[in-house]
A and B are shown apart, each in its own frame.
Chain A
């Protein structure tokens, strides 16, 4: 459901004076996936999922959303479980909290980029509740974990009336605050494959302060040695907060795959990322600033990753 622009905190045009608490609704603790699908089908937009609640409760409190039912899916089997298989990769229950994810040994060892991205979100106490699943489902252009998910080629595993569906994260976002989930369908797991050997990742976030602000620009870069690439390396680059959805930047990635990696090549890739950015003006920053910062931050992330690759290599 699109947000009414008038009530968007980032782009307010009218005064919002919400009541003292949350609007009334019914809380349902779901124990079976089918129950969730049924409730979603039955109630449509009047039903919403509750995982960490850190986004939806704010929207409800602000009066932007007023669902009649909140379906708590944290108690469904596997929703708060993390499993790792050295061959298949990581499976995160959609309702795993960001702090749980960040502290998990497999994430620390094999997916430090996910931890780095999650730690850029808000505050520690908020991350006790906030989930990567929720971060992706909200489909905010500014979602901090989205660029990391994009460069890690993560997949969304959904459950719906027709059973399971696997959607690459790159195809999961439809527009600002819109995802591709169908009626009755919900996100159950996030699968993150084993990244290529020798990879190095980095997430850089620019806010208006040194901590906690939403991203003005977020850049994730993942690089790895690849003998098939002309340059000997491949880079994956993803951006947050500079387009209607988090995006990959294939144009910049192509430059880096096809030309020997030098300072000059890195310098050429950054403007390609800038060119791909289609930001808007909002309270946090103008489109012009965002575009310029896309270039600068992409360059910094590339520098860091390239330095890491050379160290590894």
Chain B
């Protein structure tokens, strides 16, 4: 079983890790780096709880091999706040109760961050298109949409 040494940037800091071929990006993030903000809800790309940014694009971390991120830049929910200042999306999720049990929240926030980065002023339908792959069982999504809209309005 081959091991691979990989170097990558995560939440702004450079890391080196030794991974097996079959280590997923999710397991690298949660188990090897101890960043447990990224959640595992299904391990097969169906719930969105493990969504992270890979070179600026959202991916299901359970569906990416760790070895593939050699040289890449990764952002997890822990990397959204800058210098202790919450990202505007995080602020608005707090403000509008966009989180209940909170297990889907990290993935939703990452997905919404990616959306606002490419489309600073999304319509309701565009928000729904972006978040279609993020299951939430608590909120009924209403306040999630509200929070994303409020964040966009506040300058995203």
Contacts and interface: CB of A to CB of B under 8 A. Distances in A.
Question: In their complex, do chains A and B touch, with some C-beta pair under 8 Å?
Answer: yes
A50 B45 contact: no
Contacts, number: 87
Most buried by B among A23, A125, A211: A125
Contacts of A128: 54, 57-59
Contacts of B133: 122-126, 212
Interface in A141-178: none
A126 B45 contact: yes
Contacts of B62: 57
A24 interface: yes
B63 A129 contact: yes
B2 interface: yes
B83 interface: no
A211 B133 CA distance: 9
Contact of A54 (B45, B114, B128): B45
A123 B132 contact: yes
A274 interface: no
Given A24-B20, A125-B51, A54 B63 contact: yes
Interface of B: 1-2, 4, 20-24, 27, 43-45, 48, 51, 54, 57-60, 62-65, 67-68, 111, 114, 128-130, 132-134
A61 B130 CA distance: 26
Interface residues of A, number: 30
A149 B58 CA distance: 26
B21 A25 contact: yes
B59 A129 contact: yes
A24 B45 contact: no
A26 B4 CA distance: 10
Given A21-B43, A57-B24, A124-B111, 7 more contacts: A23-B22, A24-B21, A26-B21, A57-B63, A122-B45, A125-B59, A128-B59
B63 A27 contact: no
Contacts of A211: 128, 132
Interface in A22-76: 22-27, 29, 50, 52-54, 57-58, 61-62, 70, 72
